[in-house]
Structure 1
Amino acid sequence: MMTTYTVSQGQLQVHEGEAACLDGAVWIDLLNPNRAEEQAVQARLRVEVPTREEMQEIESSSRLYREDDALFLTAPFLHGVENNEYGSTAITFVLTNTALVTVRYATPRAFSTFAARARRTPGQLLGSPDAVMLHLFEQVVDRLADILERVGADMDKASQAAFRSARGTGKANVRDADLKHALLTLGQVGEVTTRANETLLGLNRILSFVAAEKALAVRKENQGLIKTLTRDVRSLVEHAGFLNSKANFLLDAVLGIINVEQNAIIKTFTVASVALMPPTLIASIYGMNFQEMPELNWSFGYPSALVLMIGSALLPIWYFKRKGWL
C-alpha cells in the first residue's frame, strides 16, 4: 500500500491506497508495494525502487549508495516488540531533492508513531525530505531507547526475584518458577539487545554516509540533527552492550544457582542410596531360603534383623553429618 504525505500552506494532506497522490508529496511510504505502485513512483521521481531481494543484501555498497542526486539507504530495523515476536526487517530510504521514499515490508512502532506526530505538527516534521528522514530516525532512536529501558527494568525485576527465592526457604515450585522466569527474561534481553544493536549499527552507517553527502543531500538547517543523532546512536550502542554484558553475567549466576540446587538434590539421593545399601544387604541375606540358617528358628531373629537394618542405615547418616556433608 502506498501512503503519501503532502504539506500545502501548513496543512497536511494524507492519501492512501488508490487515492495516493504523488504530486507535491514530501514523503511517500510504500508498505508491501505492488508493481504498479513501484512503477508510479519510478515514473514520478525517476528513481528505481529497490526490490525486496535487493534490500536483503548485506554488502555495504548494496545498502548505501548514490545514483545521480538520489541517496539509497537501507538498514535493518527492530519490529514486533509489542507482541513479543522480535524480528528485523530491512527498510530502504530513497532521499531525493523533492521527496523521501520509504520501502518496507513490516511496520515498526516508530513509523506509526511518527506518522501520528506528523499529522499534528506537519510543518516541523515534514518541512523537507531530509527533515522527514532525520526526524524519522530520531523517532526510531527514541523508540529503541524506550525498549532498552524497559527490558533493562524487566531484567532487574526478574533477577531480584530469582536471587530472593534462592536465598529464601520457600517452596521449591515457587523457586523453580522464579528461576525459569529469570532465564526467559534474560533470553529475551539478549534477543532484544542483539536486534536493537543491529538497528543502531545500521543507523550509524546511514548517518555516516549522509554526513559525507550532507552538502548535497541535507539542508543547512537540518545538518545539526545528524550530529545529535550520531551521538544518541553511539550512546545507545554502548547501553545495549552494557545490557547484553549484564544479561550474560546474570545468566551465569542463575545457571550457577540451578546447578547448586541440582547438586543438593543429587547429594540427597546419593546419601539415601548409600544409607539404604546396608539394610538392603541384611534383608537380602535373611531373604535367602537356605534350610540351615542359625537365626531362622530364633524367636528374636525378626526384631534383631529390623534393629540391625535401622542401625546400619543410621550409621552412614551420622557419619555424613559428622563430616559436614549434610
Structure 2
Amino acid sequence: MNAPSPKTVALARAPSAWQRFRHSDFAYSFKRTPTAVVSALMLLVLVLAAVLAPWLAPQNPFDPAALDLLNSRLPPAWLDGGQMKFLLGTDDQGRDLLSVMMYGLRISLTVSFCATLLSLVIGVTLGLVSGYAGGRVDNLIMRLADMQLSFPTILVALLIDGLSRALLPHALHEQLALVVVIFAIGISTWVQYARTVRGATLVEKSKDYVHAAKLIGMGPLRILFRHVLPNVLGPVMVIATLSLGLGVLTEATLSFLGLGVPPTSPSLGTLIRVGNEVLFSGEWWVTVMPGLCLVLLVLAINLLGDWLRDVFNPKLK
C-alpha cells in the first residue's frame, strides 16, 4: 500500500475555518472582553425572542379571539392583582405585554436592519466613487453630504415620512408604512459611510496593487468592488453596528410621535407611546417594560459597536 504524499498529509492536518476563527485575534479579544461577551449574549437573547416570537410568545397579540377585555390593564405578576400567565402585565386591550414586546422587537429589528443595509449600500457606493474618481464627482457627492449633515437625522426622516403622507393616498400609505420608515431612516444615515469610505479609498487608490490592476487593464468598477472594497470594510462594519442602534432609536422616535409603523403592527416605539397615555394613571408597566427592552437592545448594540471599534483600530491595540 502506497504511503500518502506529504501534500495529502498537510491537507488532512489543515485546521478548519472554525478552528482558525477560534484561534484568531478577533476571537481572543472577544473572549478576553467581558463587556463584549455580556452584550453579545444580551443581544442574542433579544434577537432570538424576536425571531421565535410566534413559537415562544405566550399569546398571539394580533388574534382577537385570544384577547379578553376583562384582562386589560393587569399589573405584572409580582404585584397585587397580577396573574402568572401575564408575567409583565397587560395593556388596555388585554394583550399580554411580554408577547406584544416580542412581536414589537421583530418590527424594530427588521426596520433597523433593513434601513442600515440600505444606508450602507448607498454610502459605501458613493464613498468608493467619490474617493476613486475625485474632481467634480468628489466635490458634488461631498457637498451633498455636507448639506445633509446640516440637518438632524430625525428631521430628515420626518421630512421624508411627511412627504410620503402628503403624496400617497391614505390607504396606500398604510400598506407601505413599513417601507417608508425603512427608506426614511436609510436615506438619512448614508453620510457617515460615504465620508469614511471616501477617506479610506483615497489612501488605498495610491497603493501598488491598484496601480498594478490599472496596468493590466482592469476596469474601475472591478478595481473598486473587488480590490478596494475588502480593504475598507473594517470601519464600515463598526459604523454599521452602531447604526443598528441608531436605527432602532430613530424608528422608536418616529413611532412615538405617531409617524412610524401603523398601530396594527406596533413596534417598541408605538408601545411606549400607547403606554405614555396611561402612565400617570398608575399603569406604569405599559410604558416602562417596552422602554426597558428598548434600552437593553440599544445598549447591547452600542457596547458591541464600541468593542468592534477598538478591535479594528490598530492604534488602540
Q: TM-score, normalised by structure 2?
A: 0.26
Q: RCO greater where, 1 or 2, for CA within 8 Å and sep 6 or more? A: 2
Q: TM-score, normalised by structure 1?
A: 0.25
* Greater per-residue helix proportion: 2
* Greater per-residue strand proportion: 1
